Chain A
Amino acid sequence: MDLILLILVPVLTLAALMTAGTKAQARMIAAAGTGVQLVLSVYLVIVYLMERGSGNIEQMLFTEKYVWFNTLNIYFSTGVDGISVSLILLTAIVTFTGVLASWDVDYLYKEFFISLIVLSTGVFGFFISLDLFTMFLFYELAVIPMYLLIGIWGSGKKEYSAMKLTLMLMGASAVLLVGLLGIYSYSSPTGATALTFNIIEIANVDIPVEAQRYFFPMVFIGFGVLGALFPFHTWSPDGHSSAPTAVSMLHAGVLMKMGGYGCLRVAMYLLPEAANEMAWIFIILTSISIVYGAFGAIVQTDLKYINAYSSVSHCGLVLFAILMINEIVMNGAVLQMISHGLMTALFFALIGMIYSRTHTRDIREMTGIMKLMPFLSVCYMIAGFASLGLPGLSGFVAEMTIFVGAFQNTDIFHRSVTILAASSIVITAVYILRVVAKILLGPAGDNLPSGIKDAVWNEKVVTIILIVAIAGMGLVPLWLSDMILNSLGPITEKLALIK
């Protein structure tokens, strides 16, 4: 399959959106474009599995190179392995449901969908890139529409949050850029070949350890900020709580995964010696993320803040797992990215739907929603159970894999942080069950607006798609985890050779 299609379809959708006149046209075009994208992504998974099934053991499939800046050796090289394929599928699902969830944007609808699709273009481009230059380009392309999306259509202290988010992420990309340029300038230590940005080619080169020690922290922090690495996570709760529903979904569901993916694909894969040496620093930071995020969620009273802090905790787990360096736990990391992406998108979609009916997100002001909106409430419960790791749903698969894998490191340091991280499951249960008990159960509150109706069709489609995906991943996880595991080989090999 031609991967460039994954960029072309959103670009064509954008072009079509520019011509849209009415709100109905704009949202139909956006839904159609992202729908086609979803179909393409499912098709990509199928052809990928077939190709692997027929015995193709290349590291990257469907690779393609388009010359861009010839003299600089910059290409737009694309290619996918199991990790990127599964994340592309996640992105397509979340984008499509995000468009459906914002069916009722009330003003500047055309601009809203344009920004949303620019954002998703950035994410798709990021996941199919095999070139540090284009990867960085798409990373920034995905971040900048967030400013407009939160600033224009957000709520609460939106201007502050939008500026904080943009500046922190762009600041991170500043650090990241220096790291990437460092990798570039060491990509040909003998001088025999031209310097290159191509990830696969750089992977065959041994970058001197002294240089790696400088650039690993830069790249890891640069991507890690997007993955809500403590202490650089503060943009995330503010950003999520001010963003409109679809943007929270995309942001927590997909954008934060770019951080994890970047850490895995660039920091760990290209700078393995430094990764082994310095992992312990970041393991401590991510452990703090995990526990601190979970405790943060306990004390919050705004539904979106609760979820934002829970995202910090769960994304911390992703980075934690990546740093544990073995195949099982890294497999768990990617599974956790997908699981958290789906479940947090569901959460934010539901919070948006509930908020549009109750006009409050404060859990102290809501009781007995189950009686008023049974459908949405049940969905919320399912999302909660997935979040706390109930077997049969996606969270269980991911977290089990992570903790089992992490425990295979036999030294006392790794074991103790693993136990610490695993304790977050209990804390998660506390805040999830507290919210469920507080707002869903009990007698219907009388301070809520009267005449509340349950979900309408587009909301039902959103929740059902996401729940099916979550349950599907929880019940039949093997194909997914195999697909990811097969692709982790080159990365873990490179990391383990050095040990």
Chain B
Amino acid sequence: MTIEQLLLMRHEIMLLIAAVIILIIELSAGKDNKSLMIPAAVIIFSLVTFIGFLPIETGKLFGGSYNTSDMIILMKNSLNIGVLIVIIQSAGWLKHSFENFDNSGGYFFIIISSVIGMDFMISAGDFLMFYIGLELATIPIAALAAVEKMKRRSSEAGIKLILSAALSSGILLFGISILYATNGSLFFSSLSSDNLNSSLQILAFIFVFTGVAFKISLVPFHLWTADVYEGAPVNISSFLSSISKASAVFILIILLFTVFNSLVSVWNTVLYYTAVITMTIGNLFAIRQQNMKRFLAFSSIAQAGFIPLGIIGGTQFGISAVIYFLLIYIFSNLGAFGVVSAISNATGKENMDDYNGLYRTNPKLSLVMMLSLFSLAGIPPVAGFFGKFFLFTAAAVQGYYILVFIAVVNATISLYYYLLVVKAMFINKSDSPIEFINNDNYTKAGLLICAIGIIIIGFAGIIFEFIESASTGI
């Protein structure tokens, strides 16, 4: 293997180097210099993110088990941006609330390991690589969800996540083994050239879809979501709800368009009904939530329900719309979670009632929250509007008017509960509002990046064109 070939795995190698450097810094820093860890991690990961954008060759490795294309690189870069924001945002939590601040190096190491898993998963060319990547992405996160060892809810979240993940992996593996039994190959390319159409293969598809749908938390595989998000530290919840979800959507797209391309009519039907149920159930549950983390959990389930609209037509435009939507979703969701995290770190308050009158005391936090929620709801002029609009366009052009109608009605319902938070912050009055929070610079930077992203991505048509030009080659 030449060095050029090895460099095809640039994203993974960079992440691995970053993870190792962080460990070395932690070991050599000694007890007194632990505060170095956060700036070091931020700088290193910014570098990794930046290098990911440099132009590079694409190709295959290991006889096709690993491959990259412009689109895959784009997906990895979107993930990197999201992870960078998560890392910046977790600084406040690591400093103030994390019981074992000494272990913050470990925290970064685990997060980066999970991202390496996601990158391998997206790049997979056969089911073996895919499965290894998937597990590498999930298991560290379960450790992180349980990281606040002294809190019962956190441990509970970790256990819940690992058990449900194990179950879904089992189902996924069963699906993969059926595929192998019927075709004798694990490679995506040879599976896709065979015509999958027997009922056993359809069953295999359903199993594989279930495994991935669990990670996207599509209904009816969403039951773990709210409990885990509520119990885990806010930053882990935000990681799970944005990065982890986006990576699962990416691999779902790749699987549907390569391995299962001959089952188009089957997966169109499956996606159609999953989309309808996911949006509706997610919305109906979100309306009644009082805890902000549970609220955002159900909102993220509902948001996931919009994604199939882009995939369902099977067009290139639809795929770019999905990637664009996810990029915007990462920014908006991290913005909302960032505010929840800032408030939770400073005061420990996580209920919607606590947000009453927030604008009077913390206008900037409230504005970022409002922007993020409007973006999630799809209100112009912030980016979420464009993301949703393109998803709807992609489905409408393919003639799915009824699905679009259901989706738009759901978007209106979601507006109701997003407005409830806006109402709490801006309209409701409170005798004891949350005091002014003096956030540290990391929190401010994290929220600022989200706010800028939310405002700019919609207006800059060039970003969408860039995504569209890259999302070819499936």
Contacts and interface: CB of A to CB of B under 8 A. Distances in A.
A115 B145 CA distance: 41
Given A70-B465, A163-B419, A175-B405, 9 more contacts: A144-B380, A167-B412, A167-B416, A170-B415, A174-B408, A174-B412, A177-B404, A178-B401, A214-B401
Interface string A178-216: 100110110000000001000000000000000000100
Interface stretch (B85-93, B110-118, B231-239, B384-392): B384-392
Contacts of B399: 185
A417 interface: no
A36 interface: no
Interface stretch (B68-76, B246-254, B420-428): B420-428
A262 B393 CA distance: 20
Interface stretch (A145-153, A292-300, A371-379, A455-463): A145-153
B464 interface: yes
> Majority SS of interface residues in chain A?
helix
B114 to A, nearest CB: 34
A147 B464 contact: no
Interface stretch (A133-141, A406-414, A480-488): A133-141
Contacts of B408: 174-175, 177-178
A173 to B, nearest CB: 8
B393 A151 contact: no
A151 B427 contact: yes
Contacts of B411: 174
Contact of B461 (A67, A147, A152, A195): A67
B379 interface: yes
B415 A140 contact: no
Nearest to A166: B419
A171 interface: yes
A152 B380 contact: no
A71 B396 contact: no
Interface in B360-411: 374, 379-381, 385, 389-390, 392-393, 396-397, 399, 401, 404-405, 408-409, 411
A141 B381 contact: yes
Contacts of A151: 423, 426-427
A133 B404 contact: no
B468 interface: yes
Q: Identify the interface centre among B405, B422, B468: most chain A CB within 10 Å of its CB.
A: B405
B65 to A, nearest CB: 33
A54 to B, nearest CB: 36
Q: Top 6 closest A-B pairs, CB basis?
A: A181-B396, A174-B408, A151-B427, A69-B461, A137-B380, A68-B461
A362 interface: no
Interface string A57-99: 0000000000111111010000000000000000000000000
Contact of B396 (A72, A148, A152, A184): A184
A159 interface: yes
A185 B396 contact: yes
21 contacts: A68-B461, A69-B461, A69-B464, A69-B465, A70-B461, A72-B464, A144-B380, A147-B419, A147-B422, A148-B422, A152-B426, A159-B427, A162-B427, A166-B419, A170-B415, A174-B405, A177-B408, A178-B401, A181-B397, A182-B396, A185-B399
B465 A185 contact: no
Given A137-B381, A147-B419, A147-B422, A184 B465 contact: no
Interface of A: 67-72, 74, 133, 136-138, 140-141, 144, 147-148, 151-152, 158-159, 162-163, 166-167, 170-171, 173-175, 177-178, 181-182, 184-185, 195, 214
A144 B397 contact: no
B401 A72 contact: no
Contacts of B423: 151, 159, 163
A377 to B, nearest CB: 34
Contacts of A148: 422, 426-427
Interface of B: 317, 374, 379-381, 385, 389-390, 392-393, 396-397, 399, 401, 404-405, 408-409, 411-412, 415-416, 419, 422-423, 426-427, 461, 464-465, 468
A146 B422 CA distance: 13
A136 B392 CA distance: 13
Contacts of A137: 380-381, 385
Nearest to B363: A111
A133 B397 CA distance: 14
Given A174-B409, A182-B396, A184-B396, A133 B389 contact: yes
Contacts of B385: 137, 140
B416 A140 contact: no
A468 B107 CA distance: 70
Contacts of B374: 144
A13 to B, nearest CB: 16
B129 to A, nearest CB: 32
A163 B465 CA distance: 36
B276 to A, nearest CB: 15
Contacts of A214: 401
Contacts of B392: 177, 181
Given A141-B380, A178-B404, A195 B426 contact: no
A143 to B, nearest CB: 9
Nearest to A154: B427
A195 B416 contact: no
A144 B379 CA distance: 8
Contacts of A182: 396, 401
Given A69-B464, A148-B426, A171-B409, A181 B380 contact: no
B405 A195 contact: no
A181 B412 contact: no
A173 B381 CA distance: 15
A184 B389 CA distance: 12
Contacts of B416: 163, 167
Contacts of A158: 427
Q: Identify the interface centre among B380, B392, B409: most chain A CB within 10 Å of its CB.
A: B380
A69 B467 CA distance: 12
B405 A71 contact: no
Contacts of A69: 461, 464-465
Nearest to B386: A69
A70 B426 CA distance: 38
A400 to B, nearest CB: 39
Given A72-B390, A152-B427, A178 B397 contact: no
A485 to B, nearest CB: 34
B144 to A, nearest CB: 37
Nearest to A170: B412
Contacts of A71: 317, 464-465, 468
A171 B409 CA distance: 7
A279 B336 CA distance: 46
B174 to A, nearest CB: 40
Contacts of A177: 389, 392, 404, 408
Nearest to B468: A71
A72 B426 CA distance: 37
A152 B405 CA distance: 31
A158 B427 CA distance: 10
Given A69-B461, A177-B392, A195 B412 contact: no
A5 to B, nearest CB: 18
Contacts of B397: 181, 184-185, 195
Q: Identify the interface centre among B401, B404, B416: most chain A CB within 10 Å of its CB.
A: B401
Nearest to B411: A174
A442 to B, nearest CB: 39
B223 to A, nearest CB: 29
Nearest to B399: A185
B229 to A, nearest CB: 26
Contacts of A144: 374, 379-380
Nearest to B427: A151
A177 B389 CA distance: 9
A117 B397 CA distance: 35
Contacts of B404: 177-178, 181
A162 B393 CA distance: 29
Contacts of A184: 393, 396-397
B328 to A, nearest CB: 14
Contacts of B393: 72, 181, 184
